[in-house]
Amino acid sequence: MAKQKKRATVEDLKARLDAINPELFEMLSAPKTHFSFRVNLNRSNTDEVLQGLKEEGFEPKAVEWSNEAFILPIEDREKIVKSKIYTENKIYIQNLSSIFAALNLKIEPHFWVLDLAAAPGGKSLIFSERAQKVSAVEPDKSRFFRMKRNFKESMAKNIQTYNKDGRFIYKACPQWFDAVFLDAPCSSESHIDMQKGITWWSIRRIHKFAKLQKELIISAFESLKTGGEMIYATCTFAPEENEAVVNFLLKKYPNAKVLPIEHKLPNTQQGITKWQNEEYSNEVAKTLRILPNKAYSGFYMARINKDEG
């Protein structure tokens, strides 16, 4: 009889999170108190949105690093989707960590931006407001068509969509893009609901995604123009999917340079350079972990420059 594999437990996850940050498990377990949204500049502007929401009884609070991102108490989440401002697609509900990461991609008005794992499309919409052209790639067919509908409803007219496997984009588009964003598929540890317990999470899942992420980050880097910048991101805490993937890129490409991330966020931690029996380049310390807090979900991001070499 085949030996049954041991199911991962909450204790397994907690032990890993404690090794990254002793406060992380408690942060992840805490109930959500706020949610966030962003003004859709393709359809509206901040003044119109705030006035409209005020008239409907909402009192959003601004974040200090953007004049288009706002938070509301979590109890307003169900109410706001029935508001006129929301149904007219003048706002887009999106996590603050994702908004922050997307706004940190260096974009000039003439840029052509690649969003390599784009669905549901919130970051592509941000790029569409700042760049001349955006290419949004999504391999999953159902997610791809929902993303296309999302772009149409948001009136983003400068986004090209491709139902393709991002691992191979660089073969068709070598060094085409001025900027690249890769929010890689991951084990999604920041989305674990501790009230429901551990269901789909496992170490095996982490290693499966780490392999995929290394293929995707190569495609992203090869698709980037020399001198351009990219951001690698995940919504997981696992160093195997975060620092280890960036370290892999640095080893493979001497012209890949990690750039510092300037911010005023209180809930952050710099990238770690040691995990279990592995040691990473000291450059990885320039990467950033956003820790779960209020409207912020757990997130990891790295800014990477493709040097002249």
**CATH code assigned at 53:** 3.30.70.1170
pLDDT digits (tens, 9 = 90+) for 53-71: 999 999 999 999 999 999 9
**Domain shared by 82 and 172, yes or no:** no
pLDDT at residue number 5: 60
Do 120 and 240 belong to one domain?
Answer: yes
Asked if residue 132 and residue 42 are part of one domain, the reply reads no
The mean predicted confidence, pLDDT, of the chain is 95
Last residue of a domain, one of 60, 78, 93: 93
CA 53/CA 162 separation, integer angstroms: 35
Question: In terms of domains, do 20 and 153 share one?
Answer: yes
Q: Backbone phi, then psi, for 118, in 5-degree steps?
A: -85, -30
Residue 4 resides in a domain: no
Q: What is the mean pLDDT of residues 25-52?
A: 96
Same domain, 169 and 37: no
Does 49 share its domain with 122? no
Average pLDDT over residues 192-201: 83
CA 58 to CA 111: how far, in whole Å? Answer: 36
What pLDDT is attached to residue 309? 65
Does 7 have pLDDT greater than 60?
Answer: yes
Same domain, yes or no: 110 and 250: yes
pLDDT reading at 233 higher than 70: yes
CB 77 within 8 A of CB 66: no
Domain final residue, candidates 47, 78, 93: 93
Last residue in a domain, options 93, 111, 126: 93
pLDDT(245) > 60? yes
Find the mean pLDDT for residues 177-189.
97
One domain for residues 150 and 263: yes
pLDDT of res. 2:
46
Report percent pLDDT > 90 for the chain: 92
Active site positions, annotated: 235
The domain that holds 290 is classified in CATH as 3.40.50.150
pLDDT exceeds 60 at position 308: yes
Give φ, ψ of 115 to 5 degrees.
-110, 105
- 8 — pLDDT class (breaks 50, 70, 90): confident
Residues 273-287 have a mean pLDDT of 97
Looking at per-residue pLDDT, the higher value among 37 and 266 belongs to 37
**In this structure, are 89 and 150 located in the same domain?**
no
The total domain count for the chain is: 2
* DSSP one-letter string for the chain: -PPPPPPP-HHHHHHHHHHH-TTHHHHHHSPP-EEEEEE-TTT--HHHHHHHHHHTT---EEETTEEEEEEEEGGGHHHHTTSHHHHTT-EEE--HHHHHHHHTS---TT-EEEETT-TT-HHHHHHHTTSSEEEEE---HHHHHHHHHHHHHTT--SEEEE-S-GGGHHHHSTT-EEEEEEE-----GGG--TTT--SS--HHHHHHHHHHHHHHHHHHHHHEEEEEEEEEEES---TTTTHHHHHHHHHH-TTEEEE------SSEEEPPSEETTEE--GGGGGSEEEPPBTTBPPEEEEEEEE---
pTM: 0.95
- Kindly state whether residues 41 and 143 are assigned to the same domain: no
Among candidate residues 232, 121, 137, the one with its CA nearest the CA of residue 184: 232
Parent domain of 216: 10-30+96-306
Distance CA 45, CA 309 (A): 41
d(CA 95, CA 298): 10
Mark whether 75 and 107 lie in a shared domain.
Answer: no
| pLDDT value at residue 1 | 43
Domain membership flag for residue 247: yes
Q: Are residues 17 and 119 in the same domain?
A: yes
